Amino acid sequence: MRPSISAYVGTRIKRVEDPRLLTGAGMFVDDVTRPGMLHACFVRSPFARARIVDIDISEALALDGVHAVYVAADLAPGIHEQTYALDGPYMPALNWPPLAEDEVRFVGDPVALVVADDRYIAEDAVELVAVDYDPLTPVVDYTAADRADELVHAAHPANIAAAMGGPLPDELAKTFDEAAHVVSRTIHQQAYIAVPMETRGLVAEWSAGEMTVWASTQSPHEVRGFTARLLGLDEHSVRVIMRDTGGGFGQKVVPQREDIAVLLAARKLPAAVKWIEDRQEHMMSAGMARQECGDARFAFDADGKLLGASIDHVQNVGAYPIPSPVTSGAVVGMLFPGPYRVPAAAFSMKLTYTNTVGRVAYRGPWQFESLAREMLLDVAARQMDIDPVELRRRNMLSAADLPLANPLGMPYNDSTPLETFEHALSILDYDAFRREQERARAEGRYIGVGTCTYIEPTTGATPFHATEGATIRIEPSGKVNVYVAGGSSGNSLETTAVQLTADALGVDIADVHTIQGDTAITPFGAGTGGSRSGSMIAGAVRETASVLRDRILAIAAHKLEAAVEDIEFVDSRATVRGVPNVGITLKEIAEISYFQAETLPQGVPPGLESSGRYHSPSMMLWANASHVCTCEVDIETGAVKILRFIVGEDCGPMINPDIVEGQIYGGTVQGIGGALYEHLAYDDDGNPVTTTFMDYLLPTTDTVPDIEIGHVESPSAGPGGYKGVGEGGAIGASPAVVNAVADALAPFGVEVTSLPLSPATIIKMLDEVQAVKA
């Protein structure tokens, strides 16, 4: 197939979904209504850990408008199998009960499900369900959970969900013993949450032996497969419809316990059931991420060259982690060497259960590797009296060093760590900033600069993510429909698919429409997750469009009485090279293909519809970026003001620069939030104390600066050279902000080892340093 001319890919095409969303015509789960639809609400535990002695549902059932109140014993018999395709065949099945059975394990644990005529009645009925609890001592401190007397789950001794690794290998231990400089710190990161604009929710309707689900999800086919296995149905008896999803960030990849409970209840009821999570429920029970710590160590020679690295990593997985946290937990250790020349490395991992909300996937779930590494590099630079940028330059990989495997086997390729680092620093003018910093300190102002450079695997990083399908149908009118599995959850996959299809076929972009998120009509696919969508959709569209474009050219050549190789097909019109005034439109070609099949050239089948499936040539396509942050810290109030934020990014060629930059902006803001504001905090008894936006702080427009982006493009081995970009902003931003604050406070001897850096935390650190000096 002769490739079409690239007319749309690489340009800033306006998002095709925006007119719908900006005019209020979007269709979210809460917009779905069904005849006689019922509404669900959960009774939730007020205790972090307690035995359930008795549940009295009689008053709730007696309330007018209540149709059912279900407890665990009512729903559990309907469960056939609970497995996630995302976890693959090697991860242990997470057969968590959809409703708490004998014991509640965190504040917010669902205990009973009320179904009523409307949400108001359901909420009133929830207040009438009387649960007799026998409180138990909770396990709250994840760092000591393996030494606690109590068990979160009796089947998991020492509260260990998973563990890996052990003592340092002898050779690496010797390296640390003999190194000129050894730097080590224990670094803590707090729990924080996804907080999408749209909370979780679904509508489930059981009718005539079939289950239809409208879901706020990132992966409709995962929901379909899970639902079929859960209910013991054939997959063709389950249809999942995803229209618009107001953000997911990993949290909405797989069904959680509340979704499971609603699916089981819907099979018992004569009408559809809707559950929409309210914001307080979301903050208590939708899942947390990031809470972890690590004992990190680097060994350097006398010139500041890295000799070895190790991290002993401990992670809180809460009471009910979904999906399995094992893979992302292991990746923290495997990526800890980062984009640096590290001859030897080792790691250990321990995942512990606690009586807090379960861990879920969240944008860059292995992000702690960058936080720990980049914070420790700045500590090392100060300890060795080397500028932190210079220390990185001495050790950072460049494009010329690749491909290579890091010391733990991660196969880096097609990346530009040093190049993006230098590009971001040039945008800042690093030397000029250091001169400004010196002047500011003389004036009593404390400004700082911090960086983070990371490398991340994108696209087909798991077997579940490694293939993607597309179906393209050119209608008799000449209009084009492209069907792909996943729908947009804020990441503009609609626009991406339309741009890719228009170029792959050579048609006018105004003639292309995409249909996504309906498992009844779209090919199987993993949806959004793992920074995969752009590259995988590009591959699926390419595989499918190539068949149709060959057919279009053959029909046009036959009609125009020319050789196929002489046909030009651009903007939905075929001409003979050198004779532009004579041609045939795609509409005319489609009419021939559908309605004049007897006139088709030999070997060309009727119709213009094709399906194809793409398989990633590599399990990992590597993207990288450098984040640079400058800030000012008010030492009287502890307030941090970000002055500039710069991202040097390499995600390969960009399908649409606006979409790429939008992904970077969004992730970066989330990373800033994690460094300075967001904290899902619990007290010593396991009570969540940040369950509203009065307590759980988010970055806002007045606290986030303009984000400057500089692009470096190195193509991958994937289609079009594209790589993923969805997670990187959330990985790189937090370490850069933390290092900037630490740099600003360096004259006081303050050392940052835990997050978030709230004003109160900063004042406390300054006071502690002053107390030691006194």
> Is residue 3 classed exposed, middle or buried when 0-12, 13-18 and 19+ CB atoms within 10 A define those classes?
exposed
Q: How far apart are CA 598 and CA 558, in angstroms?
A: 13
Which distant-in-sequence residues (6+ apart) come within 8 Å of 234 by Cβ? 228
The angle formed by the CA atoms of residues 652, 655 and 661, to the nearest 5 degrees, is: 80
Q: How far apart are CA 465 and CA 529, in angstroms?
A: 8
Q: Is the pLDDT confidence value at 619 over 80?
A: no
Q: Is the pLDDT confidence value at 719 over 70?
A: yes
For range 756-762, the mean pLDDT: 98
The residue assigned the tokens 């860059």 is 364
What's the mean pLDDT when you consider all of the chain? 96
Q: What is the Cα gyration radius of the chain?
A: 28
Q: Are 67 and 116 in contact (CB under 8 A)?
A: yes
Q: Are 40 and 112 in contact (CB under 8 A)?
A: no
Residue 3 tokens read as 């490739």
Q: Are 734 and 188 in contact (CB under 8 A)?
A: no
Q: How far apart are CA 727 and CA 671, in angstroms?
A: 10
Among left, alpha and beta (phi > 0; psi -120 to 50; other), residue 429 is left
Output the DSSP codes for 361-406: --SSTTTHHHHHHHHHHHHHHHHHT--HHHHHHHHB--GGG-SEE-
In one-letter notation, the amino acid at residue 235 is E
pLDDT in tens, 559-575: 999 999 999 999 999 99
Output the DSSP codes for 316-367: EEESS-SS-SHHHHHHHHHHTTTTB--S-EEEEEEEEE-SSPPB---SSTTT
pLDDT band, residue 1 (cuts 50/70/90): very low
Q: Is the pLDDT confidence value at 517 over 80?
A: yes
Q: Which of 754, 752, 509 is nearest to 769 (CA)?
A: 752
Output the DSSP codes for 671-701: HHHHHHT----B-TTS-BS--STTTS----T
Beta-strand relationship, 609-615 and 467-474 = antiparallel
CA torsion, ordered 603, 604, 610, 614, to nearest 10 deg: 50
pLDDT in tens, 421-469: 999 999 999 999 999 999 999 999 999 999 999 999 998 667 788 899 9
pLDDT in tens, 222-263: 999 999 999 999 999 999 999 999 999 999 999 999 999 999
Going across the sheet that includes 345-353, the strands are: 160-164, 345-353, 306-318, 292-300, 181-189
Q: Are 711 and 427 in contact (CB under 8 A)?
A: no
Q: How far apart are CA 254 and CA 246, in angstroms?
A: 16
User: What is the CA 401 to chain-centroid distance, rounded?
Assistant: 29
Q: Are 138 and 48 in contact (CB under 8 A)?
A: yes
At 474 the three-state DSSP class reads strand
Q: Are 95 and 72 in contact (CB under 8 A)?
A: no
Q: How far apart are CA 254 and CA 93, in angstroms?
A: 13
Q: Which of 466, 494, 504, 527 is nearest to 610 (CA)?
A: 504
At 166 the three-state DSSP class reads coil
Count of H-run helices and E-run strands, the chain: 19, 28
Which distant-in-sequence residues (6+ apart) come within 8 Å of 457 by Cβ? 331, 410, 619, 620, 621, 622
Does the pTM exceed 0.85? yes
For range 627-633, the mean pLDDT: 98
Q: How far apart are CA 224 and CA 530, in angstroms?
A: 19
What separation in angstroms does the CA of 109 have from each of 258, 325, 623, 687?
A: 10, 19, 38, 12
The angle formed by the CA atoms of residues 384, 389 and 391, to the nearest 5 degrees, is: 40
What separation in angstroms does the CA of 737 have from each of 369, 478, 557?
A: 15, 51, 59
pLDDT band, residue 90 (cuts 50/70/90): confident
**Quick one: DSSP state of residue 49?**
S
Least confident interval from 131-135, 526-530, 659-663: 526-530
pLDDT band, residue 503 (cuts 50/70/90): very high
Phi first, then psi: give them for residue 103, nearest 5 degrees.
-145, 140
CA torsion, ordered 173, 178, 180, 185, to nearest 10 deg: 30
CA torsion, ordered 248, 249, 254, 255, to nearest 10 deg: -50
Q: Is the pLDDT confidence value at 4 over 80?
A: no
pLDDT at 457: 93
Q: Are 203 and 273 in contact (CB under 8 A)?
A: yes
Among left, alpha and beta (phi > 0; psi -120 to 50; other), residue 561 is left
pLDDT at 461: 61
CA torsion, ordered 347, 348, 353, 355, to nearest 10 deg: -60
Q: Is the pLDDT confidence value at 586 over 80?
A: yes
Residue 699 tokens read as 């970055």
Residue 384 tokens read as 């060795």
The residue assigned the tokens 């003018």 is 429
Going from the N-terminus, what domains does the chain have, and what CATH number goes with each? 18-26+467-615 (3.30.365.10), 32-136+197-247+252-285 (3.90.1170.50), 364-459+619-773 (3.30.365.10)
Phi first, then psi: give them for residue 387, nearest 5 degrees.
-60, 135
For range 9-31, the mean pLDDT: 96
Q: Which of 201, 261, 252, 208 is nearest to 231 (CA)?
A: 261
What separation in angstroms does the CA of 774 have from each of 409, 638, 768?
A: 49, 21, 10
pLDDT in tens, 91-102: 888 899 999 999
Q: Is the pLDDT confidence value at 2 over 80?
A: no
Beta-strand relationship, 446-458 and 621-633 = antiparallel
pLDDT in tens, 488-499: 888 999 999 999
Q: How many CA atoms lie within 13 A of 15 on its CB side?
A: 18
Beta-strand relationship, 640-650 and 707-711 = parallel
Contacts of residues 749-752 at CB distance under 8 Å and 24 or more positions apart, as own/partner, are 749/773, 751/185, 751/379, 752/375
Q: Which of 358, 351, 341 is nearest to 394 (CA)?
A: 341
Q: Which of 377, 329, 346 is nearest to 185 (CA)?
A: 377
Q: How far apart are CA 745 and CA 283, in angstroms?
A: 33
Q: How many CB atoms lie within 10 A of CB 572?
A: 23
